[in-house]
Chains A and B, each alone.
Chain A
Amino acid sequence: MAELKTVGTSVQRKDAIEKVTGSAQFIEDRYMGPMLYAKMKKSTVAHGIIKKIDLKKAQAHPGVKAILTGKDYPNKIGLYLIDRDFLAVEKVRYWGEPVAVVAAVTEKAAAEAVELIEVEYEELPGVFDPRESMKPNAPVIHEDLGNYEIVPIFYPKPGTNIANHFKLRKGDIDKGFAEADLVIEKEYYVPQMQHVPIETHKAAVQWGHDGKLTVWSTAQSPNVVRQLLAKSFDIPMHKIRVISSYIGGGFGCKAGASVEGLVIPLAKMFPGYIVRIIFNREEDMQGTFTRQALFSKLKTGVRKDGRITALQYEMIWDGGAYTEYGVNIVRAAGYSSTGAYDIPNVKTDSYCVYTNNSIGGPVRGFGMCEMQWGIERQIEEIAKQLDMDPLEVRMINGMKKGSTTAAGQVVQDVDYHKCLKTVADQIGWGKKEGKYRGKGIAGLVKCPAQPSNAASSAIIRINEDGTAHVMIGATEMGQGMLTAISQIASEALNIPVDKIDIKVPDTDFTPYEWQSVGSRITYTCGTSVKRAAEDALGQIYLIASDLLETPQEDLTFDGKKVYSTKDPGIKATIREIADSCKKCTGEGIAGPIIGRGSFVPTNMTNLDPETGQGNPGLFYCFGATGVEVEVDPETGVIKILQLAAAIDAGQAVNPQLCISQLHGGTIMGLSTALYEEVKFDKGIMLNRNFTDYKISSIDNTPHIDSFIIETPETNGPYGARGIGEQPMIAVAPAVANAVCDALGIEFNTFPLTPERVWKAIKDSK
């Protein structure tokens, strides 16, 4: 590979100045026109039939313009399974589900009117544990499951609460267990968590007098919002414009579509007005996606030499009241169910189960944190029972080039062992430092969970002066996409990055991008941008060749001018070429230059419905986390003494931004390992504010040693692959493994709060 100029350097963030000066625009910063404000009336029962909604008092409240209920618009929405009501229709399925939405001239009037709406429910028995909910006699939450539209790669069981049963059968499970010298069976549990982005969910919608619908949204994926709204409201796509401003953090909770549809019918009633809804923190905690809780059972067969011969994995996921997106998390966890290990015989059953808890959905890791918690804890147990070093068990079974995943996909471009070794070396693996101190390592792998044909595209316009505009549909939510993508364009065009402009998406002007999720943008959007740049560059050479009357193969472009490698005197500046180029005779040649590039995966396939075998991964990103802890045995408080993260980025496009992702992901993982857990009481979310839902703050965040490993991804742009989610995945098991090393006590769940650790110590005595 030729030497890289821009890719691999830590250029300044494209949005740095705007963000530090406070001039970056988020939805609330924008004045869009005359406004109406929307507020939701929410259900006070977790499962119940709506007997009556009395709007009279609310409608008479000063300032109220309109109130809608589910009866007024029974449209459903969903990314993979169209099961979700915008407003509850006939029944409510979780506590806090919107049953009516009010538009008023002020937010205050809307909020007051909400209080005046009277709803009568006939409460139904609820189910709050997916294991109970799977049972044949459990109350059915979606009676119409059999009639819902669904992408045909999911397998619901109509008449039950099972929204998807993903099956995977690799090799011969009986043979695998027969070959084993030791069989270990354990159960694990991972609770719900919340993303808590700094900016909550927001949307503003305008229905123009010309019938054009404009949506400003915090959505991670404006094109998917457009697609889902077009379907749900039966509007042609050219009549919907979705604009994603800067987004104050996503972490998955703003994937798909959610809040936008709440206000669209209101906007339709008042053409020209902007109808805006802003979720407050409590609404954001309770009314948007939570991480799905997971109850899992692992049965692992292993030989005396540490080689795992068989894995039987049962996962029961709490999908919550709607599983439109959650069904795919369950599938992704299923097809990845061996984690970072090459296991020849696998039997996995992964169930997505409806309950009357808050809606489950995507969170950083997309099922991998939950699923690999079990894998990485189980490896510790294997090592303990075989009296082996857990790092060695990981090394023996870890995937390498040519290994196969649970789905039977062959992985390339892998150096998982280097990730493990890096963190092990950093934390001084193998050296016991004292009583109540312990070290733990966990590994991870993740591929983007996306449809096999999830596409990207890019347009690059070369200006008359040789500067460029990059147009893409990916969103900037803090991850640094604008910067990384500009660097890829800069590298391919050979134009300095400061001569490249790039903006957040607007579906009327920017080309298609499936979703900014799954740590895929650097790879997918990056590939599109590289192709668009190459297309533009091709046009530059073509025009230059005509202008300079020199064969293209003799020309080269140095970013400022195109010249002949044979006679450097034969040259033309980029300005001359890009400004609708003409010959000295005045005859035009060609221009303006517009490069286009698109990408759709060609290496992914559907999976066999019975065996789950196939190629579900666009690329696989490996990594590892190493931790040293000291536990206060009296209080249960865990002190993090060392924390090391290694992620294989293939090629770091911007090393500083990669390190930021490693820091951010590791902190988020640590926060879940130690503190975070959504608590429910019969579907009522108890800790829906920051007083009671605690996350890490800067002063309890330890130093993190971050390592970027670079095993180039053959098909990634300049060898890059995405790393956004990965740093989070291995943190919780690494912490638990370290605590286990310190105390000799196993934990099958987290967070490892002081009280939980204290209680475990007490119970072990």
Chain B
Amino acid sequence: MISYSYLKCKDLAQAYDLLDKEEQVYPLAGGTDLLVGMRGGKFTAKLVVDIKELAELKILEENDQGIVIGAAVTLNEIATFKPILDHALVLAEGAHSVGSYPIRNRATLAGNICNASPAADTAAPLFTLNAIVKITGSKGKRTVPINEFFIGPGKNALHKGELVESVLIPRPYPKGAGTYMKASRTGSVDLATVGVAIQRWDDQVQVAVGAVAATPVRAISVEKAINENGEKDFAKAASLARNDISPITDLRGSREYRYHMAEVLIRRGIEKVMEV
């Protein structure tokens, strides 16, 4: 049975001030991971700081830098935001594949990456878009590229007193198609057994994979084969993913199946974005 204090913040400064000063304090945006984790004993929160209605975190806009996704923007908002559908479909697909519709009405992209699950469905897409995480805190602002934001399972790059303010999909946008492909046990309302994001950048591709290592990872070997060595046999290129990932066996799938599915989904994704 959990017991904690709850405070709804008036502004961002109050939020990071509390995060800095208090112990066992967690920010709540959507709460879909936080509350479940608190109930299950993963997080022992004394104070929950609600940031979900702060105007500065509700920003979802396109500006001269790119697409800005505020920390309190929900996955359903992201999955239907026209600039994202136009320029970053891979992210819309990833966001759409999280949980169920009601979950996506609350869950946020910032929460999805802060939870730092290796299986986070929005993470692999962000890797392929070279997204930038904008962090704010009592000591000021800083930015971290998405591939440096994930440190390990459940561990992110935030320091005490910091929170994610927004995620930027920077310009220039990728030229070419992108797609997110997910293997799961039921194909619906389920966590990824393997999640693969493929983004075409003109004649190059970027490939990222979730649920196959301690963090989401770029399939560098696959990218190199195609982008640098001009590999046209995508099955052969996809098979190189084995060098980039190190999956484990758990309740959702075996290590062996994950290796196999990463390869299959990468090949299919590349074929799709390359319009083979």
Name the interface residues of B254-276: CB closer than 8 Å to any CB of A: 254, 257, 260-261, 264
CB of B140 within 8 A of chain A?
no
**CB contact under 8 A between A691 and B191, given known A635-B183, A635-B264:** yes
Pick the contact of B1: A107, A634, A675, A754 (CB < 8 A). Answer: A107
Contact, CB under 8 Å: B188 / A697: yes
Pick the contact of B251: A112, A635, A687, A754 (CB < 8 A). Answer: A687
Pick the contact of B188: A692, A699, A753, A758 (CB < 8 A). Answer: A699
Pick the contact of B257: A679, A695, A758 (CB < 8 A). Answer: A758
Name the interface residues of A97-156: CB closer than 8 Å to any CB of B: 107-108, 111-112
Kindly state the separation between the CA atoms of A700 and B260 in the bound complex, as whole angstroms: 23
Contacts of A107 in B (CB 8 A): 1
CB of A686 within 8 A of chain B?
yes
CB of B3 within 8 A of chain A?
yes
Kindly state the separation between the CA atoms of A83 and B127 in the bound complex, as whole angstroms: 58
CB of B144 within 8 A of chain A?
no
B267 nearest in chain A by CB position: A634
Query: How many residues does chain A have at the interface if contact means C-beta atoms less than 8 Å apart?
Result: 25
Contact, CB under 8 Å: B183 / A700: no
CB of A759 within 8 A of chain B?
yes
Contacts of A696 in B (CB 8 A): 186
Contacts of B187 in A (CB 8 A): 637, 700
Kindly state the separation between the CA atoms of A753 and B254 in the bound complex, as whole angstroms: 12
Contacts of B253 in A (CB 8 A): 755
Contacts of B264 in A (CB 8 A): 634-635
B3 nearest in chain A by CB position: A108
Produce 1/0 per residue, A388-422, CB < 8 A to B: 00000000000000000000000000000000000
Name the interface residues of B1-48: CB closer than 8 Å to any CB of A: 1, 3
Contacts of B260 in A (CB 8 A): 758
A110 nearest in chain B by CB position: B1
Contact, CB under 8 Å: B186 / A692: no
Kindly state the separation between the CA atoms of A755 and B258 in the bound complex, as whole angstroms: 9
CB of A694 within 8 A of chain B?
yes
CB of B190 within 8 A of chain A?
yes
Interface centre among A679, A695, A753 (most CB of B within 10 A): A753
CB of B82 within 8 A of chain A?
no
**Does more than half of chain B's interface fall in helix, strand or loop, or is it mixed?**
loop
**CB contact under 8 A between A697 and B186, given known A108-B3, A679-B251, A687-B251:** yes
CB of A674 within 8 A of chain B?
yes
Contacts of A759 in B (CB 8 A): 257
**Nearest CB in chain A: distance from B252 CB, A:** 7
Contacts of A697 in B (CB 8 A): 100, 186, 188-189
Produce 1/0 per residue, B173-212, CB < 8 A to A: 0000000000101111111010000000000000000000
Kindly state the separation between the CA atoms of A697 and B190 in the bound complex, as whole angstroms: 10
Kindly state the separation between the CA atoms of A63 and B110 in the bound complex, as whole angstroms: 40
Contacts of B186 in A (CB 8 A): 674-675, 694-697, 700
**Nearest CB in chain B: distance from A266 CB, A:** 18
Kindly state the separation between the CA atoms of A188 and B172 in the bound complex, as whole angstroms: 58
Name the interface residues of A639-697: CB closer than 8 Å to any CB of B: 674-675, 679, 686-687, 691-692, 694-697
B265 nearest in chain A by CB position: A635
Contacts of A675 in B (CB 8 A): 185-186
Kindly state the separation between the CA atoms of A650 and B3 in the bound complex, as whole angstroms: 55
Name the interface residues of B122-162: CB closer than 8 Å to any CB of A: none
Contacts of A108 in B (CB 8 A): 1, 3
Kindly state the separation between the CA atoms of A594 and B144 in the bound complex, as whole angstroms: 79
Name the interface residues of A570-619: CB closer than 8 Å to any CB of B: none
Interface centre among B3, B186, B191, B261 (most CB of A within 10 A): B186
**Nearest CB in chain B: distance from A745 CB, A:** 17
A751 nearest in chain B by CB position: B185
Contact, CB under 8 Å: A686 / B251: yes
Contact, CB under 8 Å: B100 / A692: no
A39 nearest in chain B by CB position: B1
Contact, CB under 8 Å: B261 / A635: yes
Contacts of A694 in B (CB 8 A): 185-186, 190
Kindly state the separation between the CA atoms of A634 and B261 in the bound complex, as whole angstroms: 8
**Nearest CB in chain A: distance from B186 CB, A:** 5
Contacts of A112 in B (CB 8 A): 1
Interface centre among B1, B257, B260 (most CB of A within 10 A): B1
Kindly state the separation between the CA atoms of A300 and B275 in the bound complex, as whole angstroms: 53
Contacts of A637 in B (CB 8 A): 187
Contacts of A700 in B (CB 8 A): 186-188
**Nearest CB in chain A: distance from B44 CB, A:** 13
**Nearest CB in chain A: distance from B164 CB, A:** 24
Contact, CB under 8 Å: A754 / B188: no
Contacts of B261 in A (CB 8 A): 635
Kindly state the separation between the CA atoms of A452 and B187 in the bound complex, as whole angstroms: 45
Contacts of B189 in A (CB 8 A): 697, 699
Kindly state the separation between the CA atoms of A754 and B3 in the bound complex, as whole angstroms: 40
Kindly state the separation between the CA atoms of A695 and B186 in the bound complex, as whole angstroms: 8
Kindly state the separation between the CA atoms of A758 and B251 in the bound complex, as whole angstroms: 16
Pick the contact of A111: B1, B190, B252, B254 (CB < 8 A). Answer: B1
Contacts of B185 in A (CB 8 A): 675, 694, 753-754
**CB contact under 8 A between A692 and B252, given known A674-B186, A697-B100:** yes
B250 nearest in chain A by CB position: A692
Name the interface residues of B204-225: CB closer than 8 Å to any CB of A: none
Kindly state the separation between the CA atoms of A358 and B3 in the bound complex, as whole angstroms: 31
Name the interface residues of A350-402: CB closer than 8 Å to any CB of B: none
**Nearest CB in chain B: distance from A258 CB, A:** 22
**CB contact under 8 A between A755 and B254, given known A674-B186, A694-B186, A697-B188:** yes
**Nearest CB in chain A: distance from B265 CB, A:** 8
Kindly state the separation between the CA atoms of A637 and B194 in the bound complex, as whole angstroms: 14
Contact, CB under 8 Å: B257 / A755: yes
**Nearest CB in chain B: distance from A699 CB, A:** 5
Kindly state the separation between the CA atoms of A759 and B264 in the bound complex, as whole angstroms: 14
Kindly state the separation between the CA atoms of A637 and B257 in the bound complex, as whole angstroms: 12
**Nearest CB in chain B: distance from A462 CB, A:** 47
B257 nearest in chain A by CB position: A755
Contacts of A754 in B (CB 8 A): 183, 185, 257
Produce 1/0 per residue, B227-270, CB < 8 A to A: 00000000000000000000000011110010011001000000
**CB contact under 8 A between A692 and B251, given known A635-B264, A675-B185:** yes
Interface centre among A686, A696, A758 (most CB of B within 10 A): A758
Contacts of A699 in B (CB 8 A): 188-189
- Chosen A-B contacts, 12 in total, with CB atoms closer than 8 Å, are A634-B264, A635-B183, A635-B261, A635-B264, A675-B186, A679-B251, A687-B251, A697-B100, A699-B188, A700-B187, A753-B185, A755-B254
Q: Nearest 8 A-B pairs (CB), nearest first? A: A111-B1, A700-B188, A108-B1, A755-B257, A699-B188, A697-B189, A694-B186, A692-B251
Known contacts A700-B186, A755-B193; can you find 6 more A-B pairs with CB under 8 A? A112-B1, A635-B261, A692-B251, A694-B185, A694-B186, A754-B185
